[in-house]
Amino acid sequence: MKHLKLSIFLLASLSGFAQNPAPAGPQVRAIALTGATIHVGNGQVITNGVILFDKGIITAVGDGNTPTNGAEVISVAGKHVYPGLISPAATVGLQEFASVRATLDYQETGALNPNVRALIAYNTDSEVIPTIRNNGLLMTQAVPDGGVIAGSSSVMHTDGWNWEDAVLKADDGLWLNWPGYFARSFDFDTFAVSLKKNEQQQDGINALTATFSDARAYADLKNPAPKNLKLEAMKGLFDGSKCLYIRASYGKDIIEAIKFARQMGVRKPVIVGAEDAGRVVDFLKENNVPVILGAMHRLPTLQDEDVYLPYKLPGLLQKAGVLVSLSYDGEWWRTRNLPFQAGTAAGFSGIDKEEALKMITSNTARIMGIDNVVGTLEKGKHATLVVSKGDLLDMRTNVIEHAFIQGRHLNLDDKHKRLYHMYREKYGQPDLGK
């Protein structure tokens, strides 16, 4: 009887907690969004536009004269339609509370873990995921971290019952933390960052050289027996089916990392972080290496640099012909602010907002190899898109009113909204969301 009373008490307690909304069901009939300004994602803008999609696929995009063919018409006059935004280099879904170790699932023990797959740890029940899609982020790259070779990332939707439902592209690339020339340390007493020479750098590079040499030789074998799971996971680097994402910040490290990748026969290296990329623009361009920049809303790396350099860097690289994407590089709690980084880039880089939009849509899709299905709003691609009340890149007008992933109409409830309404009612405040 005592156990029964305890069970009833626990159930009653749990029922008081709000849950994430259920994932959306499949699209059941054609939908036409009419009257909006459509931002295609490739620089093109269509005013008073129409976008039609059925069975999760875009069937037409055009001006107000585009026929709707008996579809369910949703008037979004005066609103803005954008491709679903893509967050690269993220640990959203892999961690929930930084201070609770049991909720952290983005890192394995050991230094060389190419066989680790981040997608199987992606938690679709995370309370963080609904909050980022409410700013337009409908896809995220679940990325492992830790060690030297951290494992493989995958591109995930921000809606789904489980990771099998949510995955868009499995094992898109391998993540390498380059052993840099400098070792950075942080003093918690003075909050100062100091640099010193990394005495173990050459040992790290030697270990990587041996590992990549073995992996390349293994990739040449037709039927290896027995199979080596670590080397199997690296095979895609040499045939171009996987990217090699290399975290490197300083100019010297960026150059050395790219040269290493080329010498090892890696087909698609990508530099991540790249705080010092402005110093090696020509080298990046000559080698046709894309860049995923880390957090822009920060101070410059060096004391004598332009204080606005982090804001200007995306435009500087894009104008030079380097393929640029924006990220928060693992800072999962800030990922929801990614569109505002693009807005900052437009404000300080001398590029227009459609060019900045590419850095969180089509450019990112090209880097990940998913541009055939997402990244722009074009016929034949997935109907993964958002409708915003205003400019998506401005936090004052980024108000998502509709979101669709592969045509599935999402429930946009989240923990932030529930808390807002709860405390608004408690203190009798007006509803600012209207």
Confidence class of residue 207 from pLDDT cuts 50, 70 and 90? very high
pLDDT score at 259: 97
**Ranges of each domain in the chain:** 19-83+389-426, 85-373
85-373 sits in which CATH class?
Answer: alpha beta
Model confidence at 32: pLDDT above 70: yes
Model confidence at 365: pLDDT above 60: yes
* Burial per residue of 363-400, b for 16 or more beta-carbon CB atoms within 10 angstroms, e otherwise: bbbbbbbbbeebbbbeeebbbbbbbbeebbbeeeebeb
Most confident of 11-15, 102-106, 374-378: 374-378
Confidence class of residue 8 from pLDDT cuts 50, 70 and 90? very low
CATH of 19-83+389-426, one of 3.20.20.70, 2.30.40.10, 3.40.50.2300, 3.90.700.10: 2.30.40.10
Separation of alpha carbons 287 and 218, rounded Å: 26
pLDDT per residue as tens digits for the range 151-190? 999 999 999 999 999 999 999 999 999 998 777 777 777 7
Model confidence at 76: pLDDT above 60: yes
pLDDT, mean of residues 177-206: 80
- Expressed in angstroms, the distance from the first to the final Cα of the chain is 50
pLDDT per residue as tens digits for the range 320-358? 999 999 999 878 888 999 999 999 999 998 899 999 999
Alpha-carbon dihedral sign for residues 7, 8, 13, 18: positive
Model confidence at 17: pLDDT above 50: no
Separation of alpha carbons 430 and 434, rounded Å: 9
Beta-bridge partners for 39: 45
SS3 string of 106-148? Answer: CCCCCCECCCCEHHHHCCCCCCHHHHHHCCCEEEEEECCCCCC
Taking a C-beta distance cutoff of 8 angstroms, is the pair 202, 186 a contact? no
Separation of alpha carbons 154 and 116, rounded Å: 11
Confidence class of residue 6 from pLDDT cuts 50, 70 and 90? very low
Taking a C-beta distance cutoff of 8 angstroms, is the pair 420, 31 a contact? no
Model confidence at 10: pLDDT above 50: no
Full-model pTM:
0.91
pLDDT score at 190: 76
Confidence class of residue 14 from pLDDT cuts 50, 70 and 90? very low
Percent over 70 (pLDDT), the chain? 95
How far, in Å, are 94, 104, 130, 331, 412 from residue 126 at the CA level? Answer: 9, 12, 8, 15, 14
Model confidence at 242: pLDDT above 70: yes
Pair of tokens at residue 434: 């209207």
pLDDT per residue as tens digits for the range 99-117? 888 888 888 989 999 999 9
pLDDT score at 178: 95
Strands, E, within 165-222: which ranges?
167-177, 182-187, 192-197
Confidence class of residue 16 from pLDDT cuts 50, 70 and 90? very low
pLDDT, mean of residues 257-262: 97
DSSP structural state of residue 46 = E
pLDDT score at 13: 42
Confidence class of residue 293 from pLDDT cuts 50, 70 and 90? very high
Q: Which of 21-35, 174-188, 294-308, 403-417 has the lowest mean pLDDT?
A: 174-188
Cis peptide before 26 (omega within 30 of 0): no
